[in-house]
């Protein structure tokens, strides 16, 4: 599907790339192939200034050295245990050797901010740049999707890889033929500033693997389970309405739609939320939050609220033991940080 690039252009240099993490603003779940290949999907997503970093260079040893939460040192790609690193190397290099790859993330994995998509786009970018190859953002995103969805058969969607590659606040239309249309949301300067200022994120302290929740959705979508399909139809419509609210500058309406989205999202799985998350959400709603939801597939990670009374909300959530992570939007997407 994607051409291999030969090693003749490799130079011995240190490449550092980064990709932003993301917050989903509407339509999440309709980007899985099991849904969009039948009905078409729509997701509204924003990149934030929290990043996954990848460093790639050629050491003076003839090994593949991989450093992440663990360390691997192997001689053959097929011996690599980390599935994303293994498949990224298989896709981009012909018989790779003598490489050291190090990853670092500002936010832990399993928190609903799309870390695997960010990891892959940063890694692919670094591997191509090590070979002096430029890859367009659309192709970068699609190759990352290909690795997770086709090669590894993970029950994931496409929004994470695309928003990581492109950055900004974007609408993604997922067509039945697997093509993706990327359209930046048209926001006034005032709306953008207010949205960035009034969206607040609180870490629940709970991490989770999204695979079980997403695999259940994936399975039900494939067999056209009536309740699941109708739920995703509604989520897609709420995503479209959220885009319209943002582009018209109606942030109160946008916040209301977030709340409706969360109430319906919880119906997709009993593991989407739990009593602690529900209590924290209601605490936020009773202390100035106009709307909110749990980011990602569910089960843990970050609660996101929209509020015009940040002081009150922050005090209430801190008192409940939740840590705020302050963010701004990222408009650069996956990029080269340093080359030496």
In a domain, 59, yes or no: yes
- Judgement on whether residues 132 and 261 belong to the same structural domain of the protein: no
- Judgement on whether residues 181 and 194 belong to the same structural domain of the protein: no
d(CA 90, CA 127): 11
In a domain, 1, yes or no: no
Average pLDDT, the chain: 92
In a domain, 217, yes or no: yes
Give me the pLDDT at residue 220, please. 84
Give me the pLDDT at residue 6, please. 40
d(CA 49, CA 54): 16
Give me the pLDDT at residue 2, please. 57
Is the per-residue pLDDT at 43 higher than 50? yes
Give me the pLDDT at residue 1, please. 54
- Parent domain of 217: 189-325
CATH number at residue 67: 3.30.230.10
Q: Kindly report the pTM of this predicted structure.
A: 0.93
Please state the domain count of the chain: 2
What are the structure tokens assigned to 186, written together? 């048209």
Span 177-210, pLDDT tens digits: 999 999 999 999 999 999 999 999 999 987 666 6
Give me the pLDDT at residue 266, please. 87
d(CA 338, CA 126): 10
d(CA 191, CA 197): 10
What are the structure tokens assigned to 259, written together? 């709340």
Mean pLDDT along residues 29-37: 95
- Judgement on whether residues 152 and 46 belong to the same structural domain of the protein: yes
The answer to whether 13 and 131 are in contact (CB under 8 A) is no
Mean pLDDT along residues 203-219: 75
| Beta pairing, strands 169-174 & 64-67 | unpaired
- Judgement on whether residues 179 and 197 belong to the same structural domain of the protein: no
CATH number at residue 205: 3.30.70.890
- Judgement on whether residues 272 and 335 belong to the same structural domain of the protein: no
In a domain, 161, yes or no: yes
In a domain, 302, yes or no: yes
d(CA 207, CA 282): 20
- Judgement on whether residues 293 and 175 belong to the same structural domain of the protein: no
In a domain, 206, yes or no: yes
């Amino acid at each position: 599907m994607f051409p291999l690039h030969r090693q003749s252009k490799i130079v011995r240099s240190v490449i550092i790339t980064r990709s932003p993490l993301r917050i989903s603003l509407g339509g999440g779940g309709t980007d899985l192939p099991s849904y969009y290949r039948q009905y078409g999907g729509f997701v509204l997503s924003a990149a934030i200034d929290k990043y996954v970093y990848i460093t790639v260079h050629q050491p003076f040893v003839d090994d593949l050295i991989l450093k992440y939460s663990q360390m691997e040192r192997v001689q053959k790609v097929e011996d690599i245990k980390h599935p994303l690193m293994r498949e990224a190397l298989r896709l981009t290099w012909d018989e790779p050797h003598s490489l050291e790859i190090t990853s670092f993330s500002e936010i832990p994995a399993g928190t609903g901010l799309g870390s695997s998509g960010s990891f892959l786009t940063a890694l692919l970018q670094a591997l191509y740049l090590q070979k002096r190859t430029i890859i367009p953002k659309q192709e970068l995103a699609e190759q990352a999707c290909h690795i997770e969805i086709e090669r590894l058969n993970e029950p994931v969607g496409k929004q994470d890889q695309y928003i990581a590659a492109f950055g900004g606040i974007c609408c993604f239309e997922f067509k039945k033929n697997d093509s993706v249309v990327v359209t930046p949301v048209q926001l006034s300067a005032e709306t953008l500033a207010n949205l960035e200022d009034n969206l607040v994120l609180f870490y629940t302290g709970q991490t989770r693997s999204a695979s079980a929740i997403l695999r259940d959705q994936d399975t039900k979508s494939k067999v056209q389970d009536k309740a699941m399909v109708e739920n995703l139809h509604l989520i897609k419509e709420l995503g479209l309405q959220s885009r319209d609210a943002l582009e018209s500058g109606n942030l109160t309406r946008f916040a209301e739609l977030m709340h409706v989205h969360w109430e319906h999202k919880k119906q997709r799985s009993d593991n989407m939320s739990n009593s602690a998350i529900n209590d924290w959400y209601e605490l936020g709603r009773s202390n100035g939050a106009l709307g909110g939801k749990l980011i990602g597939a569910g089960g843990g990670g970050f609660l996101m609220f929209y509020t015009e009374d940040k002081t009150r909300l922050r005090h209430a959530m801190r008192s409940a033991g939740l840590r705020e992570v302050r963010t701004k939007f990222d408009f650069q997407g996956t990029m080269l940080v340093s080359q030496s």
